[in-house]
Structure 1
């Protein structure tokens, strides 16, 4: 549930140096990495969602309270899953770790007659225009020596915190508008507006000798201060010292999860990127079990789905494969949201509001539910889930789709047709043939989104993309979609044009590109790289036209040139781990087709990989794999593109370029023979389509 990091107020996620923009290279907001303290609850590499969390800022200081909000440079940063450490310009060494519902800070001070730890409960969002989150109401009180608690209502959600400070014998006081409240034990704010907000919080202060350590323990809850206190006591009970014990438990848990995917071969850098990508893939969604402030029942509450548009293609299939219990928890939480609010949300963050990101897409939860049902994931009442799946298809854009078979934005036509297909498969499996037939008939309306004259989507408005970016979605009837474009050859021609085969190189725009530059770039109608969601599955469209060798070339180029180990090592917004999950799958030589319980097969980046799955272990092994060649000067050269020559699943020849997801989840061995030249493998049998389930 809890995350924590150094807070600069800049993009991304409150830690960083940049302001937000949508075109060109990001503009620098700060010249150096700096922090005004350490905050809790962050997004994970998402784009412009208006506000981030960054609540309850804790600031260690040797300056007066008037200097609160000043930033200090960060030195000697160290980070690993569940742990962060740095030293501020002020000489204070700062360490943070988190548990499930707690954060523990440890500050080692230089000598000072008046050191402070300041807790700012008014902080939220980013220090950029329209990025600040202002609490609506707040309550804070001292409850005893070294103890305090408070609740702030932000975006309509009550966030409670119980605080314990352990260290030298310090005084504690409340403060408001950077002025101490001597003798006060309680602050209440019934209504706060942008114009009336003045910072407020708690302060712990006193003299320190060089090397003195202060530990700040925070328990969080969305159901009040008492539950926040219980959360802290439960996770810290018997821990000695508390910081080290919480850190060790979190490190252990992360190691177990990351260890569910193991790779062999490749360079050190490529293995590092792979491990980092897997870590990023598992940070979100955040689960606050038994913490929903919107309904009283116990159970999983996924409060940080930003958004399904980011997660449904790559990340949720990864959770289903290596963390199926958490995938079930996510779906249970979404079903509960649908019960309480009337529809499945596209995004769900720690906020009460009707927005829920519905402009991005429609009916995306249906893909995950269809996969979960096909895989027989336990713990879901499928009859009840089907009720919500079917009802949700008629809401928002679904009403117009039902009446007209077409909606704008045109991408929602594709979403809703696909959602109907996914729901039909569940209805069919549950024996409701009438409903299944009715839904499957409407699922064929995806064709209404395309212009037969061009083989592309019709003109429309598009979210974070354009007509070409969205035109290569892997719909549930790719055979008919390719026929609509004029057949294999015509489809391949337009797909080649999208990926720039045979075209001249392009120049990337720098900071503040002119409208003319941007218009010229969009007019190219080209794949922009893995910087956003709309076309991240497009390289695999070649599989459906009998050219998996093209997929190998594009994916290989992306893995080699677009990802790295340093700052800027991601080609775009990670979007809660959606992009990192793409990297994990692409490196393994698999790609999930969400909603169809299907994996496409491609040349992997590693000689061998093993996934922990429900049925034991699924191994992807290769023969003929080649890593980066090393020249006579000892320098690594660009690795060669490799192509699948032949494949075997559990010792039996595999002629098709796809696997049933159940085969992967059951465990087994996929052996791929690789070579330096394209081969006929996979060109005869296509992945299944609605009108051609056997791919012949």
Structure 2
């Protein structure tokens, strides 16, 4: 497992074959960070340079091509908490409570020093600052523990900067609105900063008897002062402030600093620290071991056999990245007083609803239910289901991406019989949310622009109708299902594609191959199987010459020529993630195999440049996990599509059961003398059995997958007739979907 994958600009081998025809306009960088994390935990911690978008690394904000560098070296001014993972197009994000070990005067706080000898493992991050201090960090669910090994010095110090927040890019800084800090004596201090309307509290403990503890303001010590209070802070009046521990060190002496966090005040932050770190005394090794054990448990929920060492490393890291977000802070909501789950960093539903949420539903079902409960509470408190939700108050700026996506996860959870949710109450909010934002226009006209929102809203109506029908509200279900047929208004029958409109990060080709609830009618609208496949073939570049990817600072003419290709953007764009599986609905799963195989081979690799684009909060990595297992979840339809897996055998733990995916005829990828995979040919599905029964159809229901069992896939070097007749289920064609198991 390698947490450094995705932390640098894309650096993959030059693709060959089909993958060489794909064009990626979006930023070619994974935007991940190697810092310490806990599975779906509240807290992360990493070296802080102020770079975009996580605070770690070297890159500036960019929207297309190869990212530009802000710095010519890896560097850090300290170590911050709460980082994003793999997102893009966000100008400021977290990086609160910077901790800096120093042997320099306080005036040098904020300076950046070279970063060397980095080590990253699940739950652990370490590096050496250019000051000579060796720095190690681990985290629990709600705590962070830092351990610093100092050189000999008469006046070493550990500085906690409560004023830090955001990024070093233009307009990227986050300024606290209000703040409080106090020294409690005996190595203990605490404080609260209100950032973007959210009160973040921290309780800090250090065991170092010969050291002094003080508060500081504007890089000046407040000798003897025990409190700092700021009732209102403006960007023009902000001066740095925080806490400081200082004293002599011998060469190799370690100092441990423990931080407990809470969104409900300092007392709860202290209790969180006590719960995870125990009483006084060193806690680093204990917290690190507990978090490592949690990671081993979560990463063990997907297993696989075979594959090259590189494939295994990429697969394990993809699973790791899939389990960093969303963040769960149980009993910590600052917006409502009740206990229960509070989830943030849903960044965003547009990124994660197709792949990551179905993965959480399978391998972490309790957490998936907690997420839905939290989203229902957000809808209750704030008036709508969010597309993006973070640790901040304010309008959901991500509504431009899509509409009503939480409905897909809710529909799947209900179809699976997930306990723990009040489904009648959930249905109330699902229905109400359909009328908000663009939903009002859809309700009145049956179509809305951006035209992709028409597809979102039509599908959300279908998802909501399934829940309403299961709850015996027949009239509501009939009305919702009638409105769900409005997807047809988004398409131009003359082209079989979406109508001209504006689109969020893509064009009408990218959005035209959504896996709708009525794919039979969708394909018929476009002229039938042959016409539909022809459009797909053009989109995926079959028979097209190789293209050149945008470089650094691409010229407008270069970008315009690329967009004019109307080409698949690989896995660099969220709307394209499900498009390869559209072939299944036209009886051509062999085409799906070719595309997925090319993507797995050429768009993922080892090393910091091993991702083709933003990891999108784990959505891209979750795609890799599903595709490698030979499955793809169709969100909102309780459905999985079957394809050729990348490993000889894999298994996924679904709740307390396991689905085993085994193959016969699997051929391992050849490795050249240079250690690189050399253009392996795809392997096609010849026949499938599920629990010993022949499976003619190219799908399984979500219920079947979640019951577990044994899926056997026979592979061969040439396409077969498998999947040519029995298509995945479609609303208007009851004959479709035959060939599956009961």
TM-score band (shorter)? over 0.9
Choose 159-168 or 17-26, whichever is displaced more. 159-168
Matching of residues 447-462 of structure 1 within 5 Å: 447-462=488-503
Aligned partner (choices 9, 20, 23) of residue 61 of structure 2: 20
Corresponding residue of 2:227? 186
Task: Name the CA distance, whole Å, in 1 between partners of 2:236 and 2:300.
Answer: 50
Task: Name the CA distance, whole Å, in 2 between partners of 1:98 and 1:615.
Answer: 27
Kindly state the Cα deviation for residue 238 of structure 1 after the two structures are TM-superposed: 5.5
Task: Name the CA distance, whole Å, in 2 between partners of 1:184 and 1:444.
Answer: 67
Corresponding residue of 1:296? 337
Task: Name the CA distance, whole Å, in 2 between partners of 1:593 and 1:602.
Answer: 13
Secondary structure of the residue aligned to 2:720 is coil
Aligned partner (choices 155, 175, 178) of residue 196 of structure 2: 155
Corresponding residue of 1:352? 393
Secondary structure of the residue aligned to 1:534 is helix
Q: Gaps spanning 5+ residues in structure 2: where?
A: 1-41
Kindly state the Cα deviation for residue 145 of structure 1 after the two structures are TM-superposed: 2.3
Matching of residues 383-462 of structure 1 within 5 Å: 383-462=424-503
Choose 448-457 or 97-106, whichever is displaced more. 448-457
1:63 counterpart = 2:104? yes
Aligned partner (choices 287, 290, 300) of residue 259 of structure 1: 300
Asked whether the equivalents of residues 615 and 665 of structure 1 are also in contact (C-alpha less than 8 Å), the reply is: no
Kindly state the Cα deviation for residue 528 of structure 1 after the two structures are TM-superposed: 1.3
Task: Name the CA distance, whole Å, in 2 between partners of 1:355 and 1:635.
Answer: 44
Corresponding residue of 1:41? 82
Task: Name the CA distance, whole Å, in 2 between partners of 1:245 and 1:437.
Answer: 56
Deviations 1:536-582 (A, max 9, x none): 10000111111101110110011011101101111111111000000
Aligned-residue Cα RMSD (Å) equals 1.2
Corresponding residue of 1:573? 614
Matching of residues 114-153 of structure 1 within 5 Å: 114-153=155-194
Secondary structure of the residue aligned to 1:106 is strand
Asked whether the equivalents of residues 348 and 356 of structure 1 are also in contact (C-alpha less than 8 Å), the reply is: no
Aligned partner (choices 537, 543, 547) of residue 578 of structure 2: 537
Corresponding residue of 2:50? 9
Choose 26-35 or 173-182, whichever is displaced more. 173-182
Secondary structure of the residue aligned to 2:400 is coil
Deviations 1:134-193 (A, max 9, x none): 111111111112111100000100000000112351111111111112221111111111
Kindly state the Cα deviation for residue 444 of structure 1 after the two structures are TM-superposed: 0.2
Choose 576-585 or 388-397, whichever is displaced more. 388-397
Q: TM-score under structure 2 normalisation?
A: 0.92
Distance 1:406 1:183, change over 3 A: same
Task: Name the CA distance, whole Å, in 1 between partners of 2:555 and 2:286.
Answer: 53
Corresponding residue of 2:374? 333
1:548 counterpart = 2:623? no
Asked whether the equivalents of residues 314 and 592 of structure 1 are also in contact (C-alpha less than 8 Å), the reply is: yes
Distance 1:43 1:178, change over 3 A: same
Kindly state the Cα deviation for residue 610 of structure 1 after the two structures are TM-superposed: 1.1
Asked whether the equivalents of residues 168 and 214 of structure 1 are also in contact (C-alpha less than 8 Å), the reply is: no
Choose 461-470 or 366-375, whichever is displaced more. 461-470
Aligned partner (choices 673, 695, 698) of residue 654 of structure 1: 695
Task: Name the CA distance, whole Å, in 2 between partners of 1:628 and 1:305.
Answer: 36
Task: Name the CA distance, whole Å, in 2 between partners of 1:615 and 1:298.
Answer: 26
Kindly state the Cα deviation for residue 12 of structure 1 after the two structures are TM-superposed: 3.5
Deviations 1:587-645 (A, max 9, x none): 00000000001000000000001111135211000000011124689875332201000
1:81 counterpart = 2:125? no
Task: Name the CA distance, whole Å, in 1 between partners of 2:234 and 2:505.
Answer: 32
Kindly state the Cα deviation for residue 341 of structure 1 after the two structures are TM-superposed: 1.1
Secondary structure of the residue aligned to 1:357 is helix
Corresponding residue of 1:605? 646
Kindly state the Cα deviation for residue 319 of structure 1 after the two structures are TM-superposed: 0.5
Task: Name the CA distance, whole Å, in 2 between partners of 1:533 and 1:632.
Answer: 35
1:222 counterpart = 2:263? yes
Deviations 1:426-467 (A, max 9, x none): 111111110110000000000111111111111111111111
Count of residues in Structure 1 that have an aligned counterpart in Structure 2? 696
Secondary structure of the residue aligned to 2:652 is strand
Asked whether the equivalents of residues 513 and 582 of structure 2 are also in contact (C-alpha less than 8 Å), the reply is: yes
Task: Name the CA distance, whole Å, in 2 between partners of 1:615 and 1:237.
Answer: 31
Asked whether the equivalents of residues 53 and 92 of structure 2 are also in contact (C-alpha less than 8 Å), the reply is: no
Corresponding residue of 1:480? 521
Q: Gaps spanning 5+ residues in structure 1: where?
A: none
Corresponding residue of 2:423? 382
1:287 counterpart = 2:321? no
Corresponding residue of 1:494? 535
Task: Name the CA distance, whole Å, in 1 between partners of 2:660 and 2:674.
Answer: 35
Asked whether the equivalents of residues 273 and 565 of structure 1 are also in contact (C-alpha less than 8 Å), the reply is: yes
Secondary structure of the residue aligned to 1:162 is strand
Task: Name the CA distance, whole Å, in 2 between partners of 1:362 and 1:316.
Answer: 17
Q: TM-score under structure 1 normalisation?
A: 0.99
Secondary structure of the residue aligned to 2:216 is strand
Task: Name the CA distance, whole Å, in 2 between partners of 1:353 and 1:440.
Answer: 33
Asked whether the equivalents of residues 614 and 667 of structure 1 are also in contact (C-alpha less than 8 Å), the reply is: no
Matching of residues 227-246 of structure 1 within 5 Å: 227-237=268-278, 241-246=282-287
Corresponding residue of 1:526? 567
Asked whether the equivalents of residues 347 and 616 of structure 2 are also in contact (C-alpha less than 8 Å), the reply is: yes
